[in-house]
Structure 1
Amino acid sequence: MGTSLKNAVFLVESRLRDAARGSVQAYYELGMVFSSGAEGADVDLIEAHKWFNLAAMRGNARAQECRAEVAEDMSAREIAAAQKAARAWLQRSAIRAAA
Structure 2
Amino acid sequence: MANGFNSADFLVDDRVVDAVRGNADALYDLGVAYSTGSGGVGADLIAAHKWFNLAALNGSEQAMICRADISDDMTAREIVEAQRQARAWLQATDQCRAA
Identity %: 51
Unaligned runs of 5+ in 1: none
Q: Residue 40 of structure 1 aligns with which residue?
A: 40
Provide the secondary structure at the position in 1 that maps to 2:93. helix
Distance in structure 1 (CA, Å) of the matches to 2:62 and 2:56: 8
Provide the secondary structure at the position in 2 that maps to 1:59. coil
- Runs of 4+ aligned residues of structure 1 deviating over 3 Å after TM superposition are none
Provide the secondary structure at the position in 1 that maps to 2:68. helix
Provide the secondary structure at the position in 1 that maps to 2:43. coil
* 1:59 Cα deviation after fit: 1.4
Distance in structure 1 (CA, Å) of the matches to 2:40 and 2:25: 20
* 1:38 Cα deviation after fit: 0.8
Matched, 1:9 2:9: yes
RMSD: 1.2
1:1-99 equivalences in 2 (<5 Å):
2-94=2-94
Amino acid in structure 2 at the alignment position of 1:37: G
Contact 2:23–2:58, Cα closer than 8 Å, also in 1? no
| TM-score, length of structure 2 as denominator length | 0.90
Amino acid in structure 2 at the alignment position of 1:78: E
Unaligned runs of 5+ in 2: none
Amino acid in structure 1 at the alignment position of 2:21: R
